Structure 1
Amino acid sequence: MNLEALQKILTDTTPEALALMEPEQREDFTEKLERIYKYLRYNAIKIFNPIWYQKDFMDAGKNHRIRFHQAGNRTGKTRGSCAEFAYHLTGLYPDWWDGLRVKDGGHTYWAIGINYDSLKKVLQKELLGTNNAKQRHTIGEGMIPRDHIDLDKGLETDGARVIQCTIKHVSGRDNTLMFYGCENEAAMMGQKVRGILMDEEPPYNSINIYTQCLTRLQNAGGPGVDGFMIITATPENGQTALLDVFDKNEGGNLYRQYNTMEDNPYLTKEQREEYLAALPEWERDMRSKGIPIAGQGLVFGRIDESKLIVMQPIIDQMDDVMIGIDWGKSQDPTVVVVCTRNPATDHYSIIFEKVFDKDEYDRSPANVAEWIKASDFRGVPIIGGSNDGGIIDGSSNANLKILQRLGCNVYPDTFKNPPQSMLKVTSLSASGSQVNSIDTGIAEMRLMMQQGRLSVADSCELWLKERRTYSYVFNRTTGKHGFNKGYEHSIDASRYALMSLMRGIGCKWYERDSDSSTQLHSFNTLQTSF
C-alpha cells in the first residue's frame, strides 16, 4: 500500500469511527499509522515541497554549475540546497524537477561546513537526519532516505560525526558522500568531486576553499563534464574575497540569488519582528536580508544615503581639491579618489573614483602615473597612507616616490591627521598613534556625514559599497577591537584626501589641470599655522 492510500485511511477515520472499531480493526489501524510515521520519518525528500525561491535556485542549476544562495536567516536556503543535494546523490528527482540532473552514480560528493562542529549540527543533520552518528536509529531522518544510506558498509564515523558514507543511487552505482570542515583544507586534495555543497563562509579562508573546490570539480563527470558547487550563506563575515568573486562574475557564468526573511511565506510578520527585536540593530539587515555586515557594527552606522549621495557634486572654482590613493597589494585594487572642500561652508565632497584592478601592472605606480597625467586632475596634489611607502625621502621603490619621479604632484610628506582632531577620539587599537590612526579619520568622516557636510558622487560605486559594509571586528585572541580590513580601499583613499584637506593641503579647483607638476600647489585652508 502506498503513502497516499495510507494517508486516506488516516484522514477518513474519525474519532467516532475509531471508538466503534473492533480490537482487530484498531490494531490494524495502529499498524498502518506506524507505517505512515516510519515512512514520513525516513523519507523527508519524497514529501519535500520547495518554496518558490528554493525552486528558482534549483532550476538555475540547469545552466549554472556554480551557484550561491546569499540569503537571510530562516529563509530555508540550507534546507532547500540539502534537498537538491539529496536528489543528485540518490537520483530520486521529483516530477516537477527542472534543474541539473546527474543521471549516474559512482561519484564522490562533498558537504563542507565552517568547522566540524557546525558541519555535524547543520549539514550532517539536514542530509542524514542526525547530529549524533552513535544514534543509528536517527540516520535517515534527513533529506537522504534511510533506504538509500548503506548502514552496513561505507559508513565511517568518528564519535558523533560522520566522516563519509555510501549513498545508493537509482542507477545501481553507489555514490560516496564525504563531510569536511574548512579547518581541514589540506585534506581536500587529490580527488575528483561531482558535486559540492558548502554551507556558510569560514571567516578566514573561504576563497581558498572555493578555489580548491573548483579544481576538484574539473572533469569530475567524465571528460569535458565538470562538477557543480552550491554555496549557501548569510554573509556574517562582511564583504569577503568570495563575495567579491560573485560581485565581479567575470565571464558571466556564476549565479547568485538573494532572498530575505520576508520572502518566506511560513514566517509571519510577528515572528520576524520578534526575531529581529532580539538582535543588535547593526546585525538586523545581515540576518534578515543577507546584506554583508561583519564584526560589532557598521563603522558609519545608519546614514541617510538620500542626503549623502548626489548625482553631480556642486564645485566652485575656489574649492580646495586633493587626491588620495590606496595602493593595491596582491589581488587588492589600487584606488584613486578625488575630494574637494568648500572653504566658505566647510562642506566636503567625494567627486571621483578610479579603480585599478585588472592585473598587477594596472595597479602599479607606472600605470597610475600615466592615468593621472592624462586626466583633468594632473595638477592636484596626491597623498597616500604611511603604510604605502609614503615616506618620500625613504626607499626609491616606494610607490609615492615613483609617482613623484614620473612627474606627478605628490605631497612630500607622510599622511597625518589634522592636529585639531587629535584629541577627539581614543584609538580602538593599541597600535599606532593618533597622528595617522584610522580611528581619528573615521571619526571625522562620520561627523561629516552626520552633520550633512559630506557629499558623495553616485558614480563612486566602490566607495558606496564599502561604506555599507565597513565594520568593526573583535579579535578574540588579542581582546582588541579593530576594523574589517581588506575591504576599505576606496574609504582609505578618501580618508587620506579628506583629512589632508582639513589640514590645509591641496590646490584650488581652477589649478587642478595645471601642468606645473614640478611645484606643489599648497595652501592653508584653515588659516592655522601647523
Structure 2
Amino acid sequence: MSNTSPKFDASNLQDLDKVEAILSREKSRRSTENKLKYYKPYPKQNVFHMAGASHRERLFRAANQVGKTWAGGFEAAMHATGRYPDDWQGRTFDEPIAAWVGSPTGETLRDGPQRILLGRVGQHGTGTIPKDAVREKIPGRGVSDLIDTLVIKWGGGGDVQAPDSIIGLKSYVQGREKWQGETLHWVWFDEEPPEDIYTEGLTRTNVKQGSVWLTFTPLLGMSEVVRRFLLEPSPDRHDTNMTIEEAEHFTPEQRRQIIASYPAHEREARTKGVPILGSGRIFPVSEESIICEPFAIPNHFHRLGAMDFGWDHPFAAVELAWDADQDIVYVVKAHRLREATPVTHAAAIRSWGNLPWAWPRDGRRETLEGAGIALAQQYTDQALNMLPVHAQFDDGSVSVEAGLMDMLNRMETGKFKVFSTLLDWFEEFRLFHRKDGKVVKLGDDLLSATRYGVMMLRFAEQIYRRKEPRTRRTFWGVQGPSWMSG
C-alpha cells in the first residue's frame, strides 16, 4: 500500500497565518472596544467597589496614577449598562440610570472622566463603556470635543433592545445652581468638589437612595469634604486609601523614581493619598524615617501596654518594646475597635502577654455598661495588669503638648520606630493635625494610646525576668500591686 499522507503545503501555512492574524486583530478589537468585560480590579479598587453595597458615600483617596479614576469609570460603566461581572459584590441597579459625572472644569471633564468613559478624542468606544452600548453623544458647549450628555444602552449588548441610561457631564465652575433640580441614581465626582457642590450632588440621590463616589488625590489638604470622610464617622460613608505601593503596574524602580520626582511637601499626598497638612501637621516627619520591619523582640527589651478608652470613637491599645540600652521605642502591636466592651478588648490584648498597662485619667470614670465600676477597674477585673496610677509624667503632669513633643523628639532623633504591619497606626499618623493651633482630637486613638505609653515608659518591664504573676489589687487603693513595692 502506498503512503497517501498529504504533503506539507506552504500555501496552507500562509492561509493559517492569515486566519490567526485576523483572529488576533479581532480579539484585540474586542478587548479595546469592550474593556469592561476584561476589567480585573486591584485589591484596593475592589475594596472601594464592594463598599458601595453598604455605604451611600464613598471616597477613593489615592496616590496619582494608581487607577482611582479607572475604578470610578468602570463602576460608572457597569451601572450605566447593567453589565455586572459574575463575581460583582458592590452596589447594583436593576433599571436604567440617570447620573451625573463631575470635574473641576470643562477641560478636566474632557481629559479626565470623559476620556475614561469613552476613550480619547477620535477613539470613542475604547473607554470603560463598551462601544456597542454608546447610543448617542450630545456635544457640550464652550470646550472643544466636550460631551454634555451620554445616552447609553442598558440591559445587555449587541442588538438587544433596551431602555437607555443617561449620564450628564458637569463642571464645578458652572456653580452650585447647575447642580440642582434633578433626581439621580448616582453621582461620580472625579477630583475634589467644593463642599456646596458635593452637598447638592448628594441631595440629587436622596429620592433614589442612590450612590455618590469621589476619586481624587487630596492636594487641597484637610478640606471640609475630606474632613467629612476622615473625621466625621458615619455608617453611610466609606474611605478607601490606595498608595503607589499598591499599584501593580509600576515596578519597584519606577515607584522609586516617581516618589523622588515630587516636591517634599506634596510627596505623601501624591504617593500615599495623604491630605497635604502643611504647618498643621503634628508630626512633620516622613514615614520612612520611623517605619521598620517586624522582628522578634529580644528578651532584654522592656515592654509595656498602653490603652485609650472609647466607645463611639474606637478603643485603642498598643504594645511598646523599649530598647533601654539604645533608648529606642518600638510600637510592635496595635488593636483598634469601636463599640465593644472591656471583656471583648481584654480578650483581644491579653494574648500579648502579662504586660503592665498604662491608661488615661478618664479610666477613673464610671460607665453605664460597667454598672458604676470605673473603666480601669473593669480591665483589672479582666486580668490585665493595670498600672496603679493613670498616665502622667514624673512630676504628675499630664500635658498633651509635652507628650506630643516627647514623641516628636524621638521621631526626629531616630529613637522611635513603628512596625510596618501596623497599617491602622500609620493611617492615624498621616492625618494627625492641628486646626487654628489646636490638636484635632479625632481619629487619633492609637496615637493617644502610644502617647500614654511613652509617658509611662519608666514602668516598662523585662517580662521574661518576672517569675511569678503580679498580684492584682484595686488600682486606686492605698496598696498598689506587689511588684510596685521594694
Please, what TM-score do these two structures have when normalized by structure 1?
Answer: 0.52
Superposed CA offset, 1:377-431 (max 9, x none): xxxxxxxxxxxxxxxxxxxxxxxxxxxxxxxxxxxxxxxxxxxxxxxxxxxxxxx
Write the mapping of 1:349-368 to structure 2, written as runs, cut at 5 A: 349=402
| Letter aligned with residue 148 of structure 1 | A
User: Which residue number in structure 1 is paired with residue 457 of structure 2?
Assistant: none
**Cα distance, 1:87–1:466 mapped onto 2, change above 3 Å:** closer
User: Which residue number in structure 1 is paired with residue 105 of structure 2?
Assistant: 115
Unaligned 5+ residue runs, structure 2?
A: 1-7, 157-161, 291-327, 332-357, 360-390, 415-424, 442-486
The match for 2:256 among 250, 258, 273 is 273
Pairing 1:287–2:277 present: no
User: Which residue number in structure 2 is paired with residue 365 of structure 1?
Assistant: none
The match for 1:41 among 32, 35, 60 is 32
CA contact (8 A) 2:433 2:439 kept: no
| Letter aligned with residue 276 of structure 1 | I
The match for 1:98 among 75, 89, 92 is 89
User: Which residue number in structure 2 is paired with residue 194 of structure 1?
Assistant: 185
CA contact (8 A) 1:293 1:469 kept: no
Structure 1 CA distance for aligned equivalents of residues 32 and 210 of structure 2: 31
Aligned length: 318
CA contact (8 A) 1:282 1:298 kept: no
| Letter aligned with residue 144 of structure 2 | G
The match for 2:219 among 221, 236, 242 is 236
CA contact (8 A) 1:235 1:292 kept: yes
Pairing 1:314–2:393 present: yes
Write the mapping of 1:84-483 to structure 2, written as runs, cut at 5 A: 84-105=75-96, 107-130=97-120, 132=121, 135=122, 138-151=123-136, 154=138, 158-170=143-155, 172-185=162-175, 186-202=177-193, 205=194, 207-220=195-208, 226-293=209-276, 301-302=284-285, 312-314=391-393, 316=395, 349=402, 468-469=432-433
Superposed CA offset, 1:322-355 (max 9, x none): xxxxxxxxxxxxxxxx969xxxxxxx7379xxxx
**Cα distance, 1:465–1:274 mapped onto 2, change above 3 Å:** closer
**Higher deviation after alignment, 84-93 or 262-271:** 262-271
| Cα distance, 1:77 vs structure 2 | 1.8
Pairing 1:77–2:68 present: yes
| Cα distance, 1:75 vs structure 2 | 2.5
CA contact (8 A) 1:18 1:26 kept: no
User: Which residue number in structure 1 is paired with residue 43 of structure 2?
Assistant: 52
User: Which residue number in structure 1 is paired with residue 438 of structure 2?
Assistant: 490
Identity %: 25
* Secondary structure in 2 matching 1:118: helix
CA contact (8 A) 2:241 2:273 kept: yes
CA contact (8 A) 1:162 1:179 kept: yes
| Cα distance, 1:31 vs structure 2 | 3.2
**Cα distance, 1:198–1:450 mapped onto 2, change above 3 Å:** same
CA contact (8 A) 1:313 1:349 kept: no
User: Which residue number in structure 1 is paired with residue 300 of structure 2?
Assistant: none
Structure 2 CA distance for aligned equivalents of residues 259 and 492 of structure 1: 24
Please, what TM-score do these two structures have when normalized by structure 2?
Answer: 0.57
Superposed CA offset, 1:92-139 (max 9, x none): 11111121111111x321111122222211111111112x3xx2xx11
Aligned CA RMSD, in angstroms, stands at 3.9
Structure 1 CA distance for aligned equivalents of residues 44 and 410 of structure 2: 41
* Secondary structure in 1 matching 2:255: helix
* Secondary structure in 1 matching 2:101: strand
